[in-house]
């Protein structure tokens, strides 16, 4: 298990947001997290990436406990994250976005006396990340001027730039126009098949979930109610009634 939780619980005041979740993600697998709005999917991701501290329970990455690590330290270990609200550097050119992310993942960030732009290896990697998500040719565009779909792709490129082992994707197709969704899913499939990354994805589009996932985790009211192959999960009567709304 590359990523594992043990009795993970998050409470805000009286409300239980994440309820005693224990599960593990095997290396190289694609796991989708589904559940109705307010089921605690994003909160679970925030616990993984360290933006929330759990009320109780523990999180392990490659067998090592990371429950108390700061967000940046988890990224350093290889746990990358994209957000439901696009999180890029809007005022910087597209290439500088990924260049900065590649630079961040390598040594030499404390250097005031040399130019940041002379490291060819960093530049090549930054261009490669744009290539993967299909943003080549847009290097000089200021990121804030991209269409929403392209911003989401850029965020994926930023994620890849830090060379993570596990990618947490929070609704990567949210806000993407219908005709751009297939391209986005192709990028994600490419990251799974060619880059062989472990991926955890929160997603509402059931056909995408069904198509991409090795396993599906179902959350309801913060608790893990099912965790199995897509076929088994979709056939589960509880899931069908609680989430899919099928009697």
Partner 1 sequence: MTRRVRPFWPVIILAVLLVVPKVGVHLPVLFDGPLNRAGNLQLLAVGFAFGIAALSYNLLFGYTGILSFGHALFFGAGVYLPVIALRHWQWSLGPALLFTLVVTLALAVAVGALALRTQGVYFAMVTLAFAQAGAVVVGKNPGQLTGGEEGLSLPTKNLPTWMVGVIHTGNLYWLTLAALIVVYLLTLRMITSPTGHIWEGIRENERRIEMVGLRPYTYKLVVFVISAVIAAVAGVLYLFLSSGATPASVRSDFTVALLLMVIIGGSGALWGPVAGALLYHYLNVRLTTWAASGTVSALPGVLSRPLADPLFILGIIFVLLVLFFPRGIAGTFVTQRLRASRRVENRAR
Give the residues lining the site for partner 1 (CB under 8 A). Answer: 49, 70-73, 75-76, 80-81, 83, 87-93, 96, 99-101, 103-105, 108-117, 140-142, 144-147, 158, 161-162
Of residues 54, 89, 87, 48, the one with CA closest to residue 71: 48
- Reduce the DSSP state of residue 181 to 3 states and report it: helix
Minimal distance, residue 161 CB to partner 1, in Å: 7
- Reduce the DSSP state of residue 190 to 3 states and report it: helix
Complex with partner 1: residue 145 or 235, whichever CB lies closer: 145
Please report the beta strands in 14-109, taking only residues with DSSP state E, as ranges in sequence order.
15-25, 30-34, 56-61, 64-65, 79-82
Tokens 């960093």 belong to residue: 122
Minimal distance, residue 167 CB to partner 1, in Å: 12
- 93 burial level (CB within 10 Å; 0-12, 13-18, 19+): middle
Complex with partner 1: residue 142 or 242, whichever CB lies closer: 142
The radius of gyration of the chain from alpha carbons, rounded to an integer in Å, stands at 18
Minimal distance, residue 129 CB to partner 1, in Å: 12
Complex with partner 1: residue 146 or 217, whichever CB lies closer: 146
Complex with partner 1: residue 13 or 140, whichever CB lies closer: 140
Complex with partner 1: residue 172 or 230, whichever CB lies closer: 172
């Amino acid at each position: 298990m590359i990523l594992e939780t043990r009795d993970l619980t998050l409470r805000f005041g009286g409300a239980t947001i994440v309820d005693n979740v224990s599960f593990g993600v095997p290396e190289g697998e694609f796991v989708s997290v589904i559940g109705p709005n307010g089921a605690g999917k994003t909160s679970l991701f925030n616990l993984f990436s360290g933006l929330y501290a759990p009320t109780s329970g523990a999180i392990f990455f490659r067998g090592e406990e990371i429950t108390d690590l700061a967000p940046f330290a988890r990224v350093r270990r290889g746990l990358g994250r994209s957000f439901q609200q696009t999180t890029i550097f809007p005022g910087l050119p597209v290439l500088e976005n990924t260049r900065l992310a590649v630079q961040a993942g390598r040594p030499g960030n404390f250097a005031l006396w040399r130019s940041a732009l002379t490291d060819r290896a960093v530049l090549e990697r930054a261009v490669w990340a744009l290539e993967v998500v299909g943003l080549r040719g847009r290097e000089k565009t200021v990121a804030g001027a991209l269409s929403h779909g392209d911003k989401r792709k850029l965020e994926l490129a930023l994620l890849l730039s830090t060379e993570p082992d596990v990618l947490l994707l929070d609704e990567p197709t949210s806000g993407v126009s219908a005709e751009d969704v297939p391209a986005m899913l192709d990028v994600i499939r490419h990251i799974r098949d060619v880059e062989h990354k472990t991926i955890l994805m929160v997603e509402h589009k059931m056909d995408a979930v069904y198509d991409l996932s090795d396993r599906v985790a179902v959350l309801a009211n913060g608790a893990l109610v099912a965790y199995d192959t897509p076929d088994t999960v979709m056939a589960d009567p509880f899931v069908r009634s609680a989430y899919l709304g099928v009697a």
